[in-house]
Structure 1
C-alpha cells in the first residue's frame, strides 16, 4: 500500500475543485475520470475506508472478487432467449470492480484485466437493442471503464470503446424501433436513461452535441417514473424493483451532478427523498424483504440507500444496510454488481455509530399503498407485518391486493412466493407482460389471489381494474393499525375492507369487514406458510417452525373449518402450504372475519 500513497500524492494531486475543464461547446464538465468518483478523490475515499470497519470489509470483498476474476476468461456474447442481460451484468460487475481496484490500489493486474473486458464487449456485434436493458447495463460498464481508466488506455483502445459506446449504445437509444422506454413509467426508464447518460458523459468532449441531446432527453424522460414515488415515497413495483429502478435513478442524478459540478432539481421530485424510508421498512426483523409482486425474498445490500442517507443527512437509514454489509461475504456477487457505490456514497459516514430508527409504523400511498409495522427495531423476536393494497395491473403486479407477510420470534410465518422465473415462462410462450383481466399472466397460479395471503370471492380472480387505497392508520401506545379498502377489487360484494393491527407488541389481528352483495357469496381466507401445520380444532391451527410456535385462531360467527391445501406444483411432501377456510355470506349480510396470529415462546 506504500506505493499507492506515492501514487496518490504525486501522480494525482488534483482536487475535485480543480478538475473542471471547458469542452468544445463551452459547458463546464469534469476531466476524466468524471463519473461518480472524480479525479483526485481516491485519497478521501481511502481515508474513509481505513477509518470504518464496515467500509473496509466491503473494500476487501471487492478486491477478493477482483482476484477471482483474474482467474477467468473475459466475457463472451452469450444471449439467453431474448436477453443478453446476464452478460451485460457480468461485464458491469467485472469492469466496475476492476476499475475501482485499480484506482484504489494502482496495481497493474487490475487495469490490465479491465482492458481485456472492455475490448471484449466493444467487439460484440451489438449489445442487443431489442431488449434495451441489456444495452443500458453494458454501456454503463463500458463508460465506467473508459472514464476511470482513461489515462491508461491506448489511443487504439479509446477509439474502440468510444465507437462501441456510440454505435451500440447511444445511437440505438435514438431509434424509435428501440426507445419505447423513454415513455415508460417504470424501472426500464430509469435503467435505460441512466445507461445513456453514462455513455454521453463518457464521450462528451468528442460528441458534445449528441451527448447534450441525450442528456436533455434523459432529464425529461426520467421524470415520468419519478412520479411513481408520489406522494410519500412508496414504490409501486416492490422491493426488488425499488433496488433496481431507484439505484439507477440515483446513478443518473449523481453522475449528472458530479460531472457538471452543480446540483439539479431532479431529487426534489415529490416523494423521492422520502422513498428510502419505504425501502428501510420493507425489510423484516428476519432480514427478509416484504417480497410482494415480482420480488425475491432475500434482503440485499442497497447502494442507493447510502446516497439517500448522505443527501438527507439521516444515517439511521443505514441501520439495515449495515447488517447486509456484515453478511455480504456469503455471496458477494449476488445482486452486487454495483457494490463500489456503497463506498463512494458512504464516504465520510460513521457507520459504526448509527442509531436505530424510531418509528413503529410507516405508511405510503400512491399506486401501491403499503403499511409496514414492527414492534421493535432492536429486538430479534419482534413482530413485523407488511401489508399492501393497490392494483394487480401495476407493473410486475400480482393479484395480491390485501396480502400481508408476518414475522415473530425470528420466524416468517405468513410468506409470499415472490416472482416466477420469467425465462421459464417465456420459453413456454406464455405472455406474462399483459395485465388485462383475461391475460395469460393470470393463468400462472402463483400470480393469482389463490396463492397469496388475501381473500377470494366465489373462487374468482381479483378485479384487475380495481384499486385498493389505504384508508386509515392508527398508532397508539398499545397498537398500530392500518386499513385498506378492498371493495373495488371484489365487485361481487357491496363493500370489503381489511384491517391489520399489531396489538400490544404481542400478536397480530387480521380483520376483514364485509357487506354482502345482492346474491349469496363465499369468501375464502388464505395464508401461505412454510411452517408445519397442525389443526387443533375447527378454528385453531398450530404452526411450528425452527423450534417456535404460532397459533392461528378464527373468530367468526357460524361454522367454519380450517383446511390445509397443498400448493399447485409442489410434490405434496414439502412446504409451503395454504391454510384456508371459507365463510358463506348471505345477500346484504354484514359481518367481520377475524384471524389472530399469536406467537408463542420457544419449544425448547
Structure 2
C-alpha cells in the first residue's frame, strides 16, 4: 500500500512540476524582447568585442569569421541541389553563410555584409521547398534563416522581411504539422533535438506574426525534447556516439540557450536533471592521439564543438575545454571556418580565460544507459599516454554497429586498436541498399564496417551479433 502511495505521489509531483514549468513559460512568452532576440540581443555586441580584445585566441577566431564573411561576398548564392534524398549540404552551408555574414555585420557595422546576407536569405527563401521529406534539411535551413531574419531585422527592407517570414512559415514551420514529416516529435534520437530546435527558432523569430500558433510550436518542442534528453541518462553517455552527440547536442543547447535568454530563467533542469553531465562524456571520448572513440556512425577525427563552450560556461567548468582548446589555433582556421556554428564559440566562451586552462582531474569516465561506455587514460598532458575505451550496448540503437564489446587503444602516440567508423551514406543509398533497418536480416549488416567482423570484439561461430542482444 505504501509503495502505491509513493508511486502516486511521484506521478502527481511530475504532473504538477511539468504544468508549473509550462505555465511560467506561457506567462513569460506573452511579450518577447524586440529583435534581435536570438542568442545575442541588441547592444550586446560591445561587451562581446571587449571580451574578444582581451584574448589573442578569441581575437583570432573573431577575425577568422570576418575573413570568411569577406570571402562570401564574391560567392554566387546557393541553389537548390539535392544529393540523393538530401538537401542537407545546402541547408548547412546556408546556415553557415547567413550566420557568418550576420555576425560580421553586427560586429563591424559594414553594409556589405548586410547586403550579402540579404541576398543569401532571399535566394534560399525562393526555393520551391526546403525538402520536408528529409526534415533535418528543413530544420537546419529554418534555423539559419531565422537567425538572419532576427539579427538583421531592423536593417532589412520590409519587402525582404515579408518574403523571409513567409518562407519560415510555409517552408519551415507548416510542414512540421504534417504527420508524414513530424515523426521526430516522438523519437529519442538526434532528429528530435535538431528538428525541435529549428522549429523553435522559426517560431521565436516570427513570434509576433501569430503569437498563439508560435507559442504552441515552442511548447510542443518542450514536450517532445525530454524524450531525446532521456537518452543521456543516467550519467551522460550518448548512445549514438561521438559525432551524433556533437550534432544533436549542439541543437539541444541552441534551443536551451535561446529560450533561457529570452525567458530570463533557466529551463534546463525542468527538461532533464542529468543533461549537464554529458559534457564530461564527450571530453573523455577523445584519446591522446587526437582521435575519437568513433563507435557507431562516427568520424575518428574530432573537430571544434561549440556546444562544449556552453557547458563550460554554464557549469563554470573551464577544464571541459581542455581538448577543445587544441582546435582553436590558427593552423585549424580552415576547419573552423567550415564549422557553421563557429560564432557560438565566442558567444558562449568569451568569458572563459582560454589561455589558462587546467586539465581535468579524472583519468577515467564510465557511464551506463542504453550504450554503456568506459574510457581510461594515464595522462591528459602526455601525447604518449595510454588510453583504452570500451563499449557495450545493442546493435538495435540508432546508428549502431554490431560492435558490442568493441574497444580502441592509444599508446605512445599511436592508435593500436582502431574502429573503421562510418561509411558515407550516399555511397550505399545510391546502390539501393536499405541500411536504415536494424532487423537481424537487414542489408545494413552486409556492410563490412557495420557488422562485427570489422570490430575489436568476439565473433562466435562466424555469426553476426544478435540485434536483440
TM-score by length of 1: 0.72
Q: Secondary structure at the match of 2:231?
A: helix
- The answer to whether the aligner puts 1:58 opposite 2:61 as a matched pair is yes
Match for residue 253 of structure 2 among 250, 265, 279:
250
- The answer to whether the aligner puts 1:313 opposite 2:316 as a matched pair is yes
Aligned position for 2:413: 410
Contact 1:28/1:260 (8 A) holds in 2: no
Aligned-residue offset at 1:93: 0.3
- The answer to whether the aligner puts 1:401 opposite 2:383 as a matched pair is no
Aligned position for 1:332: 336
Deviations 1:261-302 (A, max 9, x none): 222145661321100000000011111111111001111111
Aligned-residue offset at 1:24: 12
Aligned-residue offset at 1:330: 4.0
- How far apart, CA to CA, are the structure 2 residues paired with 1:169 and 1:24? 26
Aligned position for 2:12: none
Match for residue 126 of structure 1 among 110, 121, 129:
129
Contact 2:36/2:150 (8 A) holds in 1: yes
Taking a change above 3 Å as real, the CA distance of residues 26 and 254 of structure 1, as seen in their structure-2 partners, is closer
Aligned position for 2:170: 167
- The answer to whether the aligner puts 1:67 opposite 2:79 as a matched pair is no
Contact 1:25/1:208 (8 A) holds in 2: no
Contact 2:303/2:335 (8 A) holds in 1: no
Contact 1:232/1:270 (8 A) holds in 2: no
Aligned position for 1:362: 365
Deviations 1:505-556 (A, max 9, x none): xxxxxxxxxxxxxxxxxxxxxxxxxxxxxxxxxxxxxxxxxxxxxxxxxxxx
Taking a change above 3 Å as real, the CA distance of residues 24 and 277 of structure 1, as seen in their structure-2 partners, is closer
Taking a change above 3 Å as real, the CA distance of residues 439 and 330 of structure 1, as seen in their structure-2 partners, is same
- How far apart, CA to CA, are the structure 2 residues paired with 1:235 and 1:26? 32
- How far apart, CA to CA, are the structure 1 residues paired with 2:123 and 2:464? 49
Aligned position for 1:502: none
Aligned-residue offset at 1:465: 0.7
Contact 2:256/2:268 (8 A) holds in 1: no
- How far apart, CA to CA, are the structure 1 residues paired with 2:205 and 2:282? 31
> Within 5 Å, which residues of 2 pair with 1:460-499?
460-466=463-469
> Within 5 Å, which residues of 2 pair with 1:268-283?
269-283=272-286
- How far apart, CA to CA, are the structure 2 residues paired with 1:324 and 1:360? 21
Bigger shift: residues 52-61 or 360-369: 52-61
- How far apart, CA to CA, are the structure 1 residues paired with 2:268 and 2:150? 25
Taking a change above 3 Å as real, the CA distance of residues 351 and 220 of structure 1, as seen in their structure-2 partners, is same
- How far apart, CA to CA, are the structure 2 residues paired with 1:156 and 1:330? 36
Contact 2:64/2:337 (8 A) holds in 1: no
- How far apart, CA to CA, are the structure 2 residues paired with 1:95 and 1:254? 19
Contact 2:193/2:225 (8 A) holds in 1: yes
How big is the alpha-carbon RMSD for the aligned residues of Structure 1 and Structure 2?
A: 1.4
Q: Secondary structure at the match of 2:464?
A: coil
Match for residue 200 of structure 1 among 190, 199, 203:
203
Aligned position for 2:45: 42
Aligned position for 2:380: 377
Contact 2:408/2:416 (8 A) holds in 1: yes
- The answer to whether the aligner puts 1:222 opposite 2:225 as a matched pair is yes
Aligned-residue offset at 1:52: 1.4
- The answer to whether the aligner puts 1:424 opposite 2:427 as a matched pair is yes
Q: RCO higher in 1 or 2 (8 Å CA, sep ≥ 6)?
A: 2
- The answer to whether the aligner puts 1:139 opposite 2:142 as a matched pair is yes
Aligned position for 2:111: 108
Match for residue 188 of structure 1 among 191, 194, 218:
191
Aligned position for 2:455: 452
Taking a change above 3 Å as real, the CA distance of residues 339 and 180 of structure 1, as seen in their structure-2 partners, is same
Which has the larger share of strand?
1
Aligned position for 2:30: 27
- How far apart, CA to CA, are the structure 1 residues paired with 2:264 and 2:363? 39
Deviations 1:355-378 (A, max 9, x none): 100111100000111011110001
- The answer to whether the aligner puts 1:92 opposite 2:95 as a matched pair is yes
Q: Secondary structure at the match of 2:415?
A: strand
Contact 2:222/2:271 (8 A) holds in 1: no
- How far apart, CA to CA, are the structure 2 residues paired with 1:286 and 1:26? 47
Contact 1:231/1:270 (8 A) holds in 2: no
Structure 1 stretches lacking a partner, 5+ long: 1-22, 467-604
Deviations 1:145-184 (A, max 9, x none): 0000001101101100000000001111111121011001
Taking a change above 3 Å as real, the CA distance of residues 265 and 243 of structure 1, as seen in their structure-2 partners, is closer
Aligned position for 1:564: none
- The answer to whether the aligner puts 1:263 opposite 2:269 as a matched pair is no
Contact 2:234/2:369 (8 A) holds in 1: yes
- How far apart, CA to CA, are the structure 1 residues paired with 2:434 and 2:29? 49
Q: Secondary structure at the match of 1:456?
A: coil
Structure 2 stretches lacking a partner, 5+ long: 1-25
- How far apart, CA to CA, are the structure 2 residues paired with 1:453 and 1:30? 53
Bigger shift: residues 86-95 or 282-291: 282-291
